[in-house]
């Protein structure tokens, strides 16, 4: 008997699974303060969610010296860690996402995460919501090039024993869509995150969901 091919749905974390914009903005403002720089407006900070931390800071502070960027990376991590230890980091799941994850698993899908978060931050976030065991592969910024490089998706597919034709990438930023295109998997956008629908479409999104229910239908329609 031939085994059915693995169907893999890979999710971004911040802006797709969870709403983590406030702690990200707080930590980035602390990073800029540590270097004596004026922080960019929060709407600009939200646009870099999805990139790895060094690349995000480089994008927001293009004239900063490498040493300064390194200092800001450390300050960001310290600020975020302190806030988490104080119980001040709130990263609630978006409406319907817990039910969607359960439904996809019941439907026979393997699930993975590909995120700009550190592995430590990702594990803490998923554990908070009791979701750690829901995913066959967890890929964070540690040890990978930043999105939109396809490395995280390629490793996720390898670990889940999936192929590009049977894999979808779900995300809220152009970096997620471009990563999916680079990896040869189908990109599906969500409208409740950090980048608008026009940006997602231009970056390659095959469709954009407005609700978790719509997303489930789009995921099922993406793979035969």
* pLDDT tens-digit map of 21-33: 888 899 999 999 9
The mean pLDDT value for 187-212 works out to 96
> What's residue 2's pLDDT?
43
Whether the pLDDT of residue 57 is over 70: the answer is yes
The mean pLDDT value for 187-208 works out to 96
The mean pLDDT value for 43-58 works out to 89
* Model pTM score: 0.82
> What's residue 1's pLDDT?
38
Sequence-ordered strand ranges (E) for 7-120 = 8-11, 110-114
For the segment 98-113, what is each residue's pLDDT rounded down to a tens digit?
Answer: 999 999 999 999 999 9
What kind and span of H or E run contains 42? helix 42-46
Percent of the chain with pLDDT over 90: 79
What kind and span of H or E run contains 70? helix 66-85
> What's residue 84's pLDDT?
85
Buried b (16+ CB within 10 A) or exposed e, 105-143: eeeebbbbbbbbbbeebbebbbebbebeebbbbbbbbee
Whether the pLDDT of residue 168 is over 70: the answer is yes
State the catalytic residues: 12, 14
Per DSSP, what are the bridge partners of residue 9?
Answer: 111, 168
Cβ atoms 12, 68 nearer than 8 A: no
């Amino acid at each position: 008997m031939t085994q059915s091919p693995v169907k893999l749905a890979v999710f971004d974390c911040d802006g797709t699974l969870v709403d983590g914009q406030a702690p990200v903005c707080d930590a980035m403002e602390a990073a800029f303060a540590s270097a004596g720089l004026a922080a960019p407006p929060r709407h600009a900070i939200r646009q870099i969610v999805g990139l790895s931390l060094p690349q995000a800071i480089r994008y927001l502070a293009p004239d900063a010296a490498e040493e300064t960027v390194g200092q800001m990376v450390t300050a960001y991590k310290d600020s975020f860690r302190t806030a988490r230890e104080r119980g001040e980091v709130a990263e609630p799941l978006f409406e319907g996402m817990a039910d969607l994850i359960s439904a996809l698993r019941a439907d026979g899908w393997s699930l993975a995460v590909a995120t700009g978060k550190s592995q430590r931050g990702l594990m803490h976030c998923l554990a908070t919501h009791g979701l750690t065991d829901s995913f066959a592969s967890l890929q964070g910024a540690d040890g990978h090039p930043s999105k939109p490089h396809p490395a995280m998706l390629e490793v996720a597919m390898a670990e889940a024993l999936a192929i590009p034709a049977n894999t979808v990438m779900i995300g809220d930023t152009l970096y997620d869509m471009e990563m999916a295109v680079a990896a040869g998997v189908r990109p599906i956008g969500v409208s409740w995150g950090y980048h608008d629908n026009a940006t997602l479409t231009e970056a390659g999104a095959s469709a954009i969901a407005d609700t978790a229910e719509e997303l489930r239908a789009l995921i099922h329609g993406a793979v035969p």
